[in-house]
Amino acid sequence: MDIPSYLKDTNSFLRAVEDINWRGDLKLVSIDVESLYTRIPHHEGVNAICLVLHRAGKSPAFIDFVREALLFILTHNSFLFNNQWFNQVTGTAMGTPVACTFANIFLAVFESKFILNLGNPYVKYIHTYLRYIDDVFMAWSGSEQEFFDFVDFLNTGERMNMRFPCNFGDKHLEFLDVQLDVVADQIKVSGYRKPTATNALLHYNSAHPDHVKKAVPYGQFVRLRRINDSDESFHKQALELKDRLRLRGYPDTIIKTAYDKATKLDRHQLLHRREVKRNSDRFTFTFDFCPNERNIRKAIQRNWVILERDPELRKVTVNRPMISFKRNPTMRDLLVNSKFSDKKTTWLDREIPKGNFTCHHCNFCRFHLRTRSLNIGGVTTMVEQFISCKTDYVVYVIFCTCRRFYIGKTIRPLYIRFREHHHSITSGKGSQRLIKHIRDAHAGDPNSLTFAGIERVMPKIDGGDRHRELLRREARWILKTEAEGPIGLNDKNDMAVFI
Ligand SMILES: [Zn+2]
Ligand SMILES: [Zn+2]
């Protein structure tokens, strides 16, 4: 659908501003939509999308499918807070990928119905109308009073629950990340940073690919070049940017090279540069970034010929893939959690004993240490849950009579996992340190072993990944007790579960 007001980004706004035929009677104004995402009524929103699809000539079956899918997304929007489940009944969640398109199309239909339409008595004053999602820029030909009357008209009409705060800028306006000034009947643009903006540039010490970090200063200087139409304001803001980059650990050489390169660029060309089309023949090989990604990259490139020679795979792909990385969890992802709980314990919780207990039914009870306190390679700990031979999702320890130990985890009942260890020792197979130790130091006698649970991973209230949590717990205990060290019997641990 063609939305005349649509702005893709700051760039498209700057290009649109260049095209405005400025007149002395015009004023710079902006309005925005208050909490757009949470206010869009479900049915009106879905109707708007269907209308647009209909106009675009889509088939009724397709439109019905989209309607159903959208309603499903909108009405199954639940979240957990403070141990209670909530269902969002109006608006769309910010997190769903469809939210932005949904809001954008909804507003496009809204403005064609209520703003850019003769039903709006003030439409004659709208000289230019541009919108970036929920931020609207206008060149207004009416008076200041008429502008506020127009906003009142929008706000009081009970139009689909929407509210519109506004800003009458006249000859000066801040919009997106630029500021506009009318000087001698011409619009001048320069960069704008909100007074509350923080220095959120990627830190140079961050674990990102080198080329990503090196691209940050250049990208930022180019952006300044683009949003400042005079050299004077560019250089002024570049100085400030240099300081911010230094504070984020960027070496002076990288800053200087990037600045010099950006200074030479021509602003007009930057604004009107055609976007590079992606090479669609090549598919993308995506994986988690890790500091030794170069070796993975090289291995893929070097061994790609194997796939190229394969008669079956050759039909699917021949070209070497592009390499890209998934976004890794940030500190924020790891630290911020809305699933906190202040659940009080009751007398029922107190009744459940803590520690290791035998189940009295399995053949391995005699190996199970009935204890609450454990000393694992000098690290002492108290078991805080009830664990029996039949408990699942446990991190456990196997002790040898000589006090050496092995840390493991299982999602099955503990005794089943121990039975496997027992079996591999009696059969004498395997080269793990644990098996080798019993073979070499205790003549392969499995009776020199005992086991105990250290902790259990409980089911997550939101159905989160319990297995992954178990892996993390296990890795943590391996690290804490130095189970890969001289006293422990673990083989090399894979720390990838932490990232
Ligand atoms: Zn048992
Ligand atoms: Zn031993």
Residue 216 CB contacts under 8 Å (≥ 6 apart), including other chains: 201, 202, 245, 250
Tell me the CA–centroid distance for residue 487 and ligand 2, in Å: 10
Looking at the structure, do residues 322 and 436 belong to the same domain, yes or no?
no
Looking at the structure, do residues 354 and 493 belong to the same domain, yes or no?
yes
Q: Mind listing the pLDDT tens digit for each residue in 390-439?
A: 999 999 999 999 989 999 999 999 999 999 999 988 887 777 899 999 98
Looking at the structure, do residues 325 and 372 belong to the same domain, yes or no?
no
Looking at the structure, do residues 471 and 355 belong to the same domain, yes or no?
yes
Residue 276, CA distances (Å) to 273, 280, 341 in order: 9, 12, 49
In a domain, 485, yes or no: yes
- Supply the pTM of this predicted model: 0.66
Looking at the structure, do residues 128 and 235 belong to the same domain, yes or no?
no
Tell me the CA–centroid distance for residue 455 and ligand 1, in Å: 17
Residue 113 CB contacts under 8 Å (≥ 6 apart), including other chains: 119
Looking at the structure, do residues 151 and 34 belong to the same domain, yes or no?
yes
Give the integer Cα–Cα distance in Å for 118 and 185: 29
In a domain, 278, yes or no: no
Q: Mind listing the pLDDT tens digit for each residue in 140-152?
A: 999 999 999 999 9
pLDDT band per the 50, 70, 90 thresholds, residue 227: very high
Whether the pLDDT of residue 334 is over 90: the answer is no
Looking at the structure, do residues 296 and 230 belong to the same domain, yes or no?
no
Residue 41 CB contacts under 8 Å (≥ 6 apart), including other chains: 90, 160, 161
Looking at the structure, do residues 151 and 92 belong to the same domain, yes or no?
yes
Q: How much is the pLDDT for 411? A: 95
CATH no. for residue 181?
Answer: 3.30.70
Q: How much is the pLDDT for 499? A: 43
> How many structural domains compose the chain?
4
- Which listed ligand is nearest to 387 at the C-alpha? 1
Looking at the structure, do residues 300 and 369 belong to the same domain, yes or no?
no
Whether the pLDDT of residue 275 is over 80: the answer is no
- Which listed ligand is nearest to 416 at the C-alpha? 1
Domain ranges, residue 145: 10-191
Tell me the CA–centroid distance for residue 413 and ligand 1, in Å: 10
**Tokens coding 39:** 């206010």
Give the integer Cα–Cα distance in Å for 172 and 18: 16
Mean pLDDT, range 223-241, rounded to an integer: 93
Classify burial at 317, counting beta carbons within 10 Å of its beta carbon; exposed 0-12, middle 13-18, buried 19 or more.
middle
Tell me the CA–centroid distance for residue 356 and ligand 2, in Å: 22
Give the integer Cα–Cα distance in Å for 345 and 343: 7
Mean pLDDT, range 214-218, rounded to an integer: 93
- Which listed ligand is nearest to 488 at the C-alpha? 2
Tell me the CA–centroid distance for residue 39 and ligand 2, in Å: 66
In a domain, 203, yes or no: no
Helices assigned H by DSSP within 310-413: 313-316, 331-335, 347-351
Tell me the CA–centroid distance for residue 140 and ligand 2, in Å: 85
- Which listed ligand is nearest to 388 at the C-alpha? 1
Residues forming beta bridges with residue 407, ordered by sequence position: 397
In a domain, 277, yes or no: no
